[in-house]
Amino acid sequence: MKEKEIPEGYKKTEIGKIPEDWEVKKLGDVFDILKTASYSRSELSKKGKFFYVHYGDIHTSFRHFIDIKNVELPTIEEYKAKNFPLLKNGDLIMVDASEDYEGIGKSVEIKNANFRKAIAGLHTLLLRDKNQNFVNGFKGFIVCSKSVKGQIEKLATGLKVYGISKQNLKKILLPIPSLEEQQAIANVLSDFDKLIESLDKLIAKKKNIKKGTMQLLLTGKKRLPGFIGEWVRRKLEEIGVIKTGGTPSTSIKKFWNGNIIWVTPTDINERKEIRQTERKISEEGLKIVGELPPNALLVTCIASIGKNAIIKERGACNQQINAIIPSENYDTDFLYYLMENNSKKLLARAGITATPIISKKKFSQLLFAFPPTLEEQKAIAQILSDMDAEIEALEKKKKKYKMMKKAAMELLLTGKIRLKEYIKGVSI
């Protein structure tokens, strides 16, 4: 890099351009790496007195901290914990192994350590600030900066599981702002965490409300205004046509890579409607497995029992899925929510085999209660659809904030944009 390419207020370092008032130090010079336990989950106790931070607790956390006061963690007996350092506020716990590059070096900072005694456990490294180089609240973010993550990935070793040694970790170079700027950056990033966490709680609340509403409306325990008459019990084969899907021969190229969607259980997630699939088949392939019309309900009946979705385009599905093509007196959206509400019932009907399965015959014979009119089915489905739309809107907002946080981390933790300029240009 030529000197003239360095912007005013920045300097060239081993890790690229950083602000002039920032420092670069080796991780081993600013952190002590302390001893951690190596007990697996099977060696833990439900009645232990000490919290135990396992590498799995770090991998599954979206946050960059663990609040000892407000988190569920496994526990360990006192005699097993006594030879390991107790966690302190501001300690950084890093995973030392991951099955993918994204997880290498993932870290959390400890908060409210005085609430309960805790130790770091299996496949973790405990990093403790040596000389107050960092403010509490900032350390959980610093190792996630782009320059630091890149160094960790280069030094990681392994084939199926990637890891980084203590000695290599000590060589990592860290960009270090002033304590005042660290605090300001931590405040901004923590605000994103709080927004995301509040949305998580709201989404969970809305899902619980929806679950309770389904229990009432889909069983007839509560009727909507204007609807009367007894609900009727019907076998699935009585409400429409049941079809099991299939897979065209993968050795015959003309069956594949066409424009026809072909649904497998991996295509069925939390979204109600399916319009695209991972793989597609041709018209010739469709003739082999059988066509499904738009608005057929798909229900997984092998392995992942009870997942369901509505196919919105002309298409097909594989043999792990049974499709219901409802008659004119039955609403597909109502059926979707009925299956969602009875997923445990479907699983209970699966055969006791190595791979759970509900045969087409058994599936066709399943009994469910239905409102006496199509209009009531549609009214119930509309209420639940509106709830889904509200939850989906919240999920989109959460995704937006997570993307904004990621962008903010890349800019602020590398000094590409200083905090004052960032705050001027961002709107939450």
Residues 166-206: pLDDT tens digits? 898 999 999 999 999 999 999 999 999 999 999 999 999 99
CB 385 within 8 A of CB 368: no
CA distance 89 to 66: 10
At residue 426, the pLDDT reads 65
Amino acid symbol at 83: N
Question: In percent, how much of the chain has pLDDT > 90?
Answer: 73
- Least confident span in 30-39, 140-149, 268-277: 140-149
- Least confident span in 22-26, 156-160, 191-195: 156-160
CA distance 225 to 370: 17
At residue 428, the pLDDT reads 54
Please determine, for residue 340, whether its predicted confidence score (pLDDT) is greater than 90. Answer: yes
pLDDT bin (cut points 50, 70, 90) of residue 355 is confident
At residue 159, the pLDDT reads 62
Residues 414-425: pLDDT tens digits? 998 888 888 776
At residue 58, the pLDDT reads 87
At residue 63, the pLDDT reads 79
CB 23 within 8 A of CB 159: no
Looking up tokens 């003239």 gives 4
Please determine, for residue 341, whether its predicted confidence score (pLDDT) is greater than 80. Answer: yes
Question: In percent, how much of the chain has pLDDT > 70?
Answer: 96
At residue 427, the pLDDT reads 56
pTM for the whole thing?
A: 0.85
Report phi then psi at 244, rounded to 5.
-100, 135
The residues, ordered by sequence, that sit 6+ positions from 50 with a Cβ below 8 Å of its Cβ are 75, 76, 77, 78, 81, 116, 117, 118, 119
pLDDT bin (cut points 50, 70, 90) of residue 42 is confident
Please determine, for residue 301, whether its predicted confidence score (pLDDT) is greater than 70. Answer: yes
Question: Mean pLDDT, to the nearest integer, of 3-22?
Answer: 87
Helix (H), strand (E), coil (C) string for the chain: CCHHHCCCCEEEECCEEEECCCEEEEHHHHEEEECCCCCCHHHCECCCCEEEECHHHHHCCCCCEEEHHHCCCCEECHHHHCCCCCCCCCCEEEECEECCHHHCCCEEEEECHHHCCEEECCCEEEEEECCCCCCCCCHHHHCCCHHHHHHHHHHCECCCCEECCHHHHHCCEEEECCHHHHHHHHHHHHHHHHHHHHHHHHHHHHHHHHHHHHHHHCCCCCCCCCCCCCCEEEEHHHHEEEEECCCCCCCCHHHEEEEEEEECHHHCCCCCEECCCCEEECHHHHHHHCCECCCEEEEECECCCCCEEEECCCEEECCCEEEEEECCCCCHHHHHHHHHHCHHHHHHCCECCCCCECCHHHHHCCEEEECCCHHHHHHHHHHHHHHHHHHHHHHHHHHHHHHHHHHHHHHHCCCCCCHHHHHHHCCC
Question: Mean pLDDT, to the nearest integer, of 340-350?
Answer: 89
Please determine, for residue 1, whether its predicted confidence score (pLDDT) is greater than 50. Answer: no
Strands 124-129 and 31-34: antiparallel
Q: How many other CB atoms are found less than 10 A from the CB of residue 219?
A: 14
Which domains, and CATH codes, for the chain? 3-176 (3.90.220.20), 177-213+374-428 (1.10.287.1120), 232-370 (3.90.220.20)
Comparison of pLDDT for 276 and 352, the residue scoring more: 276
CB 371 within 8 A of CB 231: yes
* Terminal alpha carbon distance of the chain: 35
Comparison of pLDDT for 62 and 408, the residue scoring more: 408
pLDDT bin (cut points 50, 70, 90) of residue 338 is very high
At residue 113, the pLDDT reads 94
What tokens does 295 get? 């608005």
Residues 88-142: pLDDT tens digits? 999 999 988 776 667 778 899 999 999 999 999 988 999 999 999 999 999 989 8
Please determine, for residue 4, whether its predicted confidence score (pLDDT) is greater than 90. Answer: no
Please state, rounded to an integer, the average pLDDT across all residues of the chain.
Answer: 91
Closest CA to 49 of 80, 7, 94, 90: 80
CA distance 406 to 427: 15
At residue 300, the pLDDT reads 95
